[in-house]
Chains A and B, each alone.
Chain A
């Protein structure tokens, strides 16, 4: 087994002067390129720019400046997170070539803490998908089996986090888009409490669901990264002003019985139950609990997320950004301008985005808003109340992240509903706004990773990560690497 360097270890070595920033970055960039040649997780990379930042950091340190919290740590940002370097295309043809005039707040804070941006990662278009196959640009492959999907929508980030140490990869999670791909790629992925990290500069999909978070190797790394990114931001009115609470004495774990239904793959269930046993051996008290509205979560999510998406994506009109349809022609029922909107959007958006924008438009339209959207908002309250009630009894919940192991490329892409079923265990956390982490807890018979999910109450981010850290201190699943990657470690 190869022990991978963690972000925490790399930062400490740099701070102690054991290794220079440039000296650490150079082999990392080579390794990144080698791995990405196989998995296709990067939409773009910035090796020259990154090396320039590294040299500047070395100069700062040589001049006696103290090492910052993430000094010299390489990271990537998902393609829907704004960075001034490179383009921010959200995996969409419609935004091909879009260059953000500013950095997302999360990115700006990471850069200020000394982290080095090395690339932008692939995703399902605008974050809509669970396999990364909805990217307009390229498929991304699972490092554990290159014929399988990495999950999504943060599939590029997960494929890299599953194969690379000493770095981290920013993702976004609207219905599981950090946790599910992390589970499928053997990485650790954390979705913070809604509002813990500013959404300023994250291309909006479902504004009441979206949250930025890290994919890395360990929960300890995730904590370090979230501490840097979190906190109130005047550019996001929904960002929380309370600092992350330090966790203390969380020993009661709930096993929600609705998360172990028959549709969960037998091997996934087995590995997760074994992981729960490990937690019991660590002294956690485990009891079964019930979240009775779980079975409605996915339907609720489909309505709310598409409704919000149809509104958010209205801004992509062929006028302000991206690609405009050529020679849009007015018809009997449209002016030249509406024709331009229609054709630019119709040509620029991929099939899944079009499906969701249309569904969202339908559930918000006069005559259907009450039956679908308003009802879903009320069911959402029921789901939130389930969690609130259960968190009076237990400190955290433990369950599988993905109901199934990574599937083959192309296997589910033709059936949207089969693909939506990948999210049944993750969407509830977004609807309720609570934090959740996915950590590796073993492999199935084919050697494919299985993820264990820990959910906590809103604001309980550090508590969730503390449990994950204790699990990882006793286990080595998070240290495993695919054979082909291991052979190439520098």
Chain B
């Protein structure tokens, strides 16, 4: 998907710049599409309001002097879990002692059992690969919509 940054601006003015201002309903719909999340039309206005409020609240962070400060991505004291570089059979579901004999096939079955639609070890989804004729149509459409 082609994402135009312009459509993410909070307001019509475009420049965030810490000045607050509303987040447009169009921006909400665009974010929803990025998040693969359907938002009912009736909720867009309320979300737009919520976003404006919370971003005004979050703008407080601009008061902090963070020049030259390194980001903290993670608080872990040490990440020293590397094991010796020796091949080890995957244990998968066998972490529980009484499951030690569970074979890979059973494990896959148990995982697939949670899927809304599965066939043995395969997850079933709607068709994602177009027939050749359709594909050329789509590619044309895509290129038409991309500057």
Q: Is this pair of chains taken from one and the same complex?
A: yes
Which A residues fall within an 8 A CB radius of B? 84, 98-99, 101-103, 105, 108, 112, 193-195, 208, 232, 234-235, 237-242, 293, 295-296, 298-300, 302-303, 310, 314, 317-324, 328, 333, 335-343, 345-347, 349, 351, 354-355, 357-359, 361-363, 365-368, 371-372, 374-382, 384, 416-417, 431-434, 458-459
User: For A333, what are the chain B residues with a Cβ–Cβ distance below 8 Å?
Assistant: 33
- Whether A318 touches B116, Cβ cut-off 8 Å, given contacts A299-B57, A342-B36, is yes
* Contact for A372 among B58, B75, B113, CB less than 8 A: B58
User: For B35, what are the chain A residues with a Cβ–Cβ distance below 8 Å?
Assistant: 310, 345, 357-358, 361
Q: Is the CB of A365 within 8 A of B72?
A: no
Q: Is the CB of A101 within 8 A of B111?
A: yes
User: For B144, what are the chain A residues with a Cβ–Cβ distance below 8 Å?
Assistant: none
Q: Is the CB of A320 within 8 A of B64?
A: no
User: For B125, what are the chain A residues with a Cβ–Cβ distance below 8 Å?
Assistant: 319, 337, 340
Q: Is the CB of B95 within 8 A of A208?
A: no
User: For B50, what are the chain A residues with a Cβ–Cβ distance below 8 Å?
Assistant: 355, 416
| Distance, CA A310 to CA B47, complexed state (A) | 16
| Distance, CA A299 to CA B61, complexed state (A) | 7
Query: B42 → chain A, closest Cβ, in Å?
Result: 12
Residues facing A in B75-109 (CB within 8 A) are 75-81, 83, 93, 95-97, 99, 107
User: For A235, what are the chain B residues with a Cβ–Cβ distance below 8 Å?
Assistant: 95
Select the residue from A336, A358, A380, A431 with max chain B CB neighbours within 10 A: A358
Q: Is the CB of B16 within 8 A of A368?
A: yes
Q: Is the CB of B32 within 8 A of A358?
A: yes
Residues facing A in B35-79 (CB within 8 A) are 35-40, 43, 47, 50-51, 53-54, 57-64, 66, 69-79
Q: For the complex, would chain A's binding face be called helix, strand, loop or mixed by DSSP majority?
A: helix
| Distance, CA A380 to CA B66, complexed state (A) | 10
| Distance, CA A431 to CA B74, complexed state (A) | 8
Q: Is the CB of B75 within 8 A of A365?
A: no
| Distance, CA A371 to CA B59, complexed state (A) | 9
Query: B98 → chain A, closest Cβ, in Å?
Result: 10
| Distance, CA A267 to CA B106, complexed state (A) | 57
Q: Is the CB of A345 within 8 A of B74?
A: no
Query: A460 → chain B, closest Cβ, in Å?
Result: 11
* Contact for B37 among A101, A298, A357, CB less than 8 A: A357
* Contact for B73 among A193, A342, A377, CB less than 8 A: A377
- Whether A98 touches B114, Cβ cut-off 8 Å, given contacts A340-B125, A342-B36, is yes
User: For A242, what are the chain B residues with a Cβ–Cβ distance below 8 Å?
Assistant: 77-78
| Distance, CA A382 to CA B71, complexed state (A) | 9
Q: Is the CB of A240 within 8 A of B64?
A: no
| Distance, CA A367 to CA B6, complexed state (A) | 9
| Distance, CA A240 to CA B77, complexed state (A) | 8
Q: Is the CB of B81 within 8 A of A362?
A: no
Q: Is the CB of A323 within 8 A of B58?
A: no
1/0 per residue B1-27: CB within 8 Å of A? Answer: 001010011000000101000010000
- Please give 15 more A-B residue pairs, beta carbons under 8 A apart, in addition to A194-B75, A375-B62: A112-B97, A232-B81, A241-B81, A302-B58, A314-B36, A328-B126, A337-B125, A339-B126, A342-B38, A349-B37, A354-B43, A367-B5, A368-B8, A377-B71, A381-B70
Query: A330 → chain B, closest Cβ, in Å?
Result: 8
**What are 10 residue pairs bridging A and B, where the CB atoms are less than 8 Å apart in the complex?**
A195-B77, A296-B61, A322-B114, A323-B116, A358-B35, A362-B8, A377-B73, A382-B66, A417-B54, A433-B76
* Contact for A317 among B5, B36, B61, CB less than 8 A: B36
Asked whether any CB of chain A lies closer than 8 Å to the CB of B121, the reply is no
Residues facing A in B93-145 (CB within 8 A) are 93, 95-97, 99, 107, 110-111, 113-117, 123, 125-128
Q: Which residue of B lies closest to A433 (CB)?
A: B75
User: For A433, what are the chain B residues with a Cβ–Cβ distance below 8 Å?
Assistant: 75-77
Query: A463 → chain B, closest Cβ, in Å?
Result: 15
User: For B33, what are the chain A residues with a Cβ–Cβ distance below 8 Å?
Assistant: 333, 342
Q: Is the CB of A241 within 8 A of B72?
A: no
| Distance, CA A376 to CA B111, complexed state (A) | 37
| Distance, CA A372 to CA B43, complexed state (A) | 24
- Whether A361 touches B34, Cβ cut-off 8 Å, given contacts A235-B95, A376-B61, is yes
Q: Is the CB of B61 within 8 A of A346?
A: no
User: For A371, what are the chain B residues with a Cβ–Cβ distance below 8 Å?
Assistant: 16, 18
